[in-house]
Structure 1
Amino acid sequence: MDPSDQRLFTVVDYVIFALLLAASVGIGLYHALSGGRQRTTQEFLMADRSMHCIPVSLSLIASFQSAVAIIGVPAEIYTHGTQYWFIGCAYILGLFIPAHVFIPVLYRLRLSSAYQYLELRFSKAVRICGTLTFIFQMVIYMGICVYTPAFALNAVTGFELWGAVLAMGLVCTLYTALGGLKAVIWTDVFQTVVMFVGQLAVIVVGIQETGGVSEVWRKVREGNRISGLDLNPDPTERHTFWTLGVGGVFLMLSLYGVNQTQVQRYLSSRTEKEAVRSCYMVFPSLQLALALSCVMGLVMFARYCGEDYSDKLGTSSKDAMVIYFVMDMLQGLPGLPGLFVACLFSAALSTISSAFNSLATVTLEDLIKPHFPAMTEAKATLLSKGLAVSYGLMCLAMAYLTHLMGDSVLQVALKIFGMVGGPNLGLFCLGMFFPWANSTGALAGLGAGLTVAFWVGIGSIVTRSSGAKALPPSCRASNLTETIQTVLSNSTLSKPSGLERFYSLSYMWYSAFSCLTVVITGLVISFLTGPMKEEDVTPGTVYPLFGNLLFFLPEHLKRKLCCVTSLRPTPTVQQRQQSQHKHINGSAVPQEDEPSQAETDTFLPDTHTAMVERETAL
């Protein structure tokens, strides 16, 4: 029987699915009624800076591993082979650099919003521009995250599509607004477990139904779905080792280095060591999530040999094949369809709840509080909850636009991160690594980066030049003649030229391309308008990248190049102890760990004091 002709949900499935939603709301209620009961912005938005590394690390993986990845990656592997798996190589530097560069700088400044850094380093205008860029990015991405599992629920159960969107958005908004960041992190922990179990169940059943591991391997190998190491340096090739392994590093840095959703989790950690440790603990979880998604795509291919049945679900999107596969594998197995849909919803809930909380944080800290400095803590907390609810309703409207996009959800999501996240990454890199960069250069660089990123991104959508042809659907081994014919046909395809070639840039390079545009433009404008002087740079906002790379130079030469490891004289012990007990709102926050060697190299005052000093100097 065609799986698309029947609805698979039984009473058991509905119970499993309902338990997921109830558990998520229950965690929110628990944290709303326990502890400080979310009465302060520090508790609601920053979890009182009391989280340990294990829940933070699981929350970091849940925020990234959305329903987009669970649906999009298997569809990518099914259609184009395992080349995408090489993005796992980018996870190494993509997590190592944030752990040792971005986290130390941002954590020691005792920030609530990552974009407060931009005001400390540059100016208030740069901070506002960075915040607005992040808000734009996350609002669009939330629409994709909400729509994807709702479509799956509609396909599997016949449940009204927009009813599913509304239910998920309201549940997520409810527990986020009730329990704050603590609820978001602990629901992420629960939902991460559900994600892994749901994917694993589908894979195990799929392998059994296909004839075992050896049969799956035979079919995917004969169907040319096992990709080799493609070292083609052409940046217009959609997926090669360079686009995934190098371009992917910039994508990971924009996510795990400067994105408020992830940075907020680092800043909620008890200590800097806990924050760094949580970043390291994300690596094996990310690799496991990537492996499960890729294996699922291979099992799909072994089952259908690349044939496209998405039209039976009323859509032309390749992503629908994953839903069709789940319906086919799990029919007649009560509970498993509900488990997989719960898996999708868990991934989506964890992502959008993180987005709601981070959006509420940056809106309050960056756009509202600076204009109302006398706002009471009670009003600020109530306002932050209202902002979380408002963004929840906004994401429901964005979900409507998602089904109008022609690309796969994975490609659309990564394009968004590259087009918007890349320029934001460039802004932070410009500030942290280049002491000469000034506010004018930062604004000009961000404008140039966004312009170029949207130019190439929109151009690729209009010309449809960024896609790649699917591999031929076949489970049988191709002979030498067929292989030669395929190579010759591919080589005779007309190569794009001019603007078409520009629009053909692989979407995996978007982050790197826009980031470098921001840095280069920012440095040029900074030198033309007068580079920043050492004494004007807020202490603690520059990472001594060049000082470390040029360690062999004498100290006076490094100082001339503004590559010193310390922008101000090292303070006394008494000054350090006083600064460590300061907080952005003036309250005492004692540090449990002794300062590391890196901390003794740079004097890091609290955010409020640094801002006052900067404004006084100006």
Structure 2
Amino acid sequence: MCVDSCSSTSSPLPTGPSSPDRSTFSTVDYVVFVLLLVFSLAIGLYHACRGWGRHTVGQLLLADRKMGCLPVALSLLATFQSAVAILGVPSEIYRFGTQYWFLGCSYILGLLIPAHIFIPIFYRLHLTSAYEYLELRFNKAVRVCGTVTFIFQMVIYMGVVLYAPSLALNAVTGFDLWMSVLTLGIVCTIYTALGGLKAVIWTDVFQTLVMFLGQLAVIIVGSAKVGGLGCVWKLASECDRISGIELDPDPFVRHTFWTLAFGGVFMMLSLYGVNQAQVQRYLSSRTEKAAILSCYAVFPCQQVALCMGSLIGLVMFAYYMQFPMSPQQQQAAPDQFVLYFVMDLLKGLPGLPGLFVACLFSGSLSTISSAFNSLATVTMEDLIRPWFPEVSEVRATMLSRVLAFSYGLICLGMAYISSHLGPVLQAAISIFGMVGGPLLGLFCLGMFFPCANPTGAIVGLLSGLLMAFWIGVGSIVTNMGSSRPPLPSNVTSSSLSYNLTTFSTTALMHTTSRPRPVGLQRLYSLSYMWYSAHNSTTVILVGLAVSLLTGGMRGRTLDPRTIYPVWPRLLALLPVSWQKKLHCKSCTQEDLSLDNSIFPEKMSNGTLRDMDEKEAPVPEGPLAPQGNSPTFILQETSL
């Protein structure tokens, strides 16, 4: 029966579950969970055994560039939709209302820009690692800096993303902590190391379906128990959990429409534009068109995933307005809310708790396996092959497998270290979000500003990283001692909340009862959704300033394929009469002709069409042609 108002739910109904004991798995639940691991491992072993002995580095790292649009799209989504997101988006909605739902607005530009700017440049350069671009645009030192930054980001985060869901599961169900950590780590390591990217993508497809099924089961059963989705929405509206559009432009407010819809664009660009795990999937597509379509296909899938997570949060709110929580649930951390709710809700329905746990671990498997594969790729292509170009194909293939396996072991070690970090665990998770912004700024500096040079790129990246850790860590440390904000219903918990889309955890901003901070304290209260925008902007501004002070690109060679012609594209939108008034018509035509040379025509076999040698001399050094990717040189004479 639908509750008429919030006040009428102050006395919980006696028919609700109230057992304080931890829930346990039935035999059917264990069977469902084990089947997930068996099928994931089987898919990986199938692709490993298929053509064993004939695998090349291209097949392991890029699936031989023959993947279709739909599996790539689902793999992109699976990498984005981690176990942390499955646990935390409902918790965010349950505690603070549906304001977070407006993040979906950022998906539009967050996917259109990668589809029409980043993917064409990366794909037509015929890259394997996204950081190869940095050498083509700047030099080898910038490439190494970008690669090391990415490895640091992923290694720390992978240990946390492996440990945190297992810890939550252990606290709620009694599922053995280290058994689940080892199981996840070993299964991921085996099928990623042996099967390569093709195995990772196809297991991601299977795991995405499991994630959707698990969340759908919770929504159906939960809404049925509280009177239907209509009742859920009505109760949430009566209790002010349905948020309107908050147009406050203050960047220090945690969640507003501008913060989520526009600050979220930069976060999406750092994930879908320049992150190696995602770029590698674009590059595995059989054609550039398939890569772009896969980016478009992610949009509706992301919207569905966000809607399902938000609905689970609303159903959970309606459920606990009618039924009491156990003492353990009242003291639970935010990342455990959903698991307690699911075990409470699905008790007595054999198989469904196991399905949701399989859904949770599918998110971990997909994220971790993607990280292993991308780490092996950047290590092989950016740190080994440039220094040892004579490595044979057979040895390179074996070394790629060894690298993926080694990163799996490192991940297990980081999970063990995470178990001893205590409060620093949340700071470690937020590193993922803090590093993404500076890397985005580095790529944007190279693509959109032809005058940027290697010195400016390195100084800009270091400045962005310093700014990111200064504000990010300062915010966490400052807010750890803050008072706990009020929670809905009868819940009392810690003041930390997972931000799941950026794979980071941040301290909640001050409540209305706290005085407005000033000085540095004010800077530390910057909304985490603006971190990527702030840090990437820092890289660009510092990089441009240093580049101009050090002479820009004067005397250096510039590969025009690494530049996106922003200025001529903008001028092309103006009427011809305006272009004449601005005295820029001839410049525009010249730049547009250069734009055509940036992306040479593709041959039917998917390789780049070589230009006549008279059109562009073949360079030497770090800009020398790699494989089927010819290089065309533009000599800049002035800034």
Q: Which has the larger displacement, 3-12 or 61-70?
A: 3-12
What does 1:10-29 correspond to in 2, within 5 Å?
Answer: 10-29=26-45
Which of the numbers 317, 323, 335 marks the counterpart of 1:319? 335
User: Could you tell me which residue of structure 2 aligns to residue 224 of structure 1?
Assistant: 240
Which SS does the other structure have where 2:561 is aligned? coil
Matched, 1:550 2:577: no
State the distance in 1 between where 2:84 and 2:76 align. Answer: 16
User: Where does the alignment leave 5 or more consecutive residues of structure 1 unmatched?
Assistant: 476-488, 582-588
State the distance in 1 between where 2:18 and 2:171 align. Answer: 13
State the distance in 1 between where 2:469 and 2:481 align. Answer: 14
Which SS does the other structure have where 2:560 is aligned? coil
User: Could you tell me which residue of structure 1 aligns to residue 543 of structure 2?
Assistant: 522
User: Could you tell me which residue of structure 2 aligns to residue 506 of structure 1?
Assistant: 527
Of Structure 1 and Structure 2, which has the larger fraction of its residues in helix?
A: 1
State the distance in 1 between where 2:418 and 2:236 align. Answer: 31
Which SS does the other structure have where 2:385 is aligned? helix
User: Could you tell me which residue of structure 2 aligns to residue 241 of structure 1?
Assistant: 257
State the distance in 2 between where 1:391 and 1:537 align. Answer: 35
Letter of the structure 2 residue corresponding to residue 30 of structure 1: Y
Structure 1 residue 563, shift from structure 2 partner: 8.9
Q: Is the 8 A contact 1:309 1:324 kept in 2?
A: no
Structure 1 residue 225, shift from structure 2 partner: 1.1
Which SS does the other structure have where 1:550 is aligned? helix
Letter of the structure 2 residue corresponding to residue 29 of structure 1: L
Structure 1 residue 199, shift from structure 2 partner: 0.4
1:50-93 CA-partner distances (Å, limit 9, x unpaired): 00000000000000001010001011111111111110000000
CA 331–376 in structure 1, closer or farther in 2 if over 3 Å, else same: same
Q: Which has the larger displacement, 181-190 or 162-171?
A: 162-171
Structure 1 residue 559, shift from structure 2 partner: 7.9
Matched, 1:169 2:193: no
State the distance in 1 between where 2:585 and 2:472 align. Answer: 40
CA 535–463 in structure 1, closer or farther in 2 if over 3 Å, else same: closer
Which SS does the other structure have where 2:252 is aligned? coil
Structure 1 residue 417, shift from structure 2 partner: 3.6
Matched, 1:121 2:142: no
Which SS does the other structure have where 2:334 is aligned? coil
Q: Is the 8 A contact 1:13 1:334 kept in 2?
A: yes
What does 1:119-518 correspond to in 2, within 5 Å?
Answer: 119-305=135-321, 312=328, 316-402=332-418, 404=421, 406=423, 413=429, 415-464=430-479, 470=485, 472-474=487-489, 493-518=514-539
Q: How does the TM-score come out when normalised to structure 1? A: 0.87
Which SS does the other structure have where 2:562 is aligned? coil
Which SS does the other structure have where 2:591 is aligned? coil
CA 367–306 in structure 1, closer or farther in 2 if over 3 Å, else same: farther
CA 544–468 in structure 1, closer or farther in 2 if over 3 Å, else same: farther
Letter of the structure 1 residue corresponding to residue 62 of structure 2: M
State the distance in 1 between where 2:289 and 2:629 align. Answer: 24
Structure 1 residue 249, shift from structure 2 partner: 0.2
CA 292–269 in structure 1, closer or farther in 2 if over 3 Å, else same: same
Structure 1 residue 110, shift from structure 2 partner: 0.3
Q: Which has the larger displacement, 281-290 or 551-560?
A: 551-560
Letter of the structure 1 residue corresponding to residue 563 of structure 2: V
User: Could you tell me which residue of structure 1 aligns to residue 494 of structure 2?
Assistant: none
State the distance in 1 between where 2:402 and 2:86 align. Answer: 31
Question: Aligned residue pairs: how many?
Answer: 583
State the distance in 2 between where 1:383 and 1:446 align. Answer: 30
CA 397–565 in structure 1, closer or farther in 2 if over 3 Å, else same: farther
Give the percent of matched residue pairs that are identical in Structure 1 and Structure 2: 58
Structure 1 residue 451, shift from structure 2 partner: 0.5
Q: Is the 8 A contact 1:466 1:504 kept in 2?
A: no
CA 332–610 in structure 1, closer or farther in 2 if over 3 Å, else same: closer
Q: Is the 8 A contact 2:60 2:197 kept in 1?
A: yes
Q: Is the 8 A contact 2:94 2:488 kept in 1?
A: no
Which of the numbers 57, 65, 69 marks the counterpart of 1:41? 57
State the distance in 2 between where 1:25 and 1:12 align. Answer: 20
What does 1:75-90 correspond to in 2, within 5 Å?
Answer: 75-90=91-106
Letter of the structure 1 residue corresponding to residue 591 of structure 2: V
State the distance in 1 between where 2:143 and 2:401 align. Answer: 23
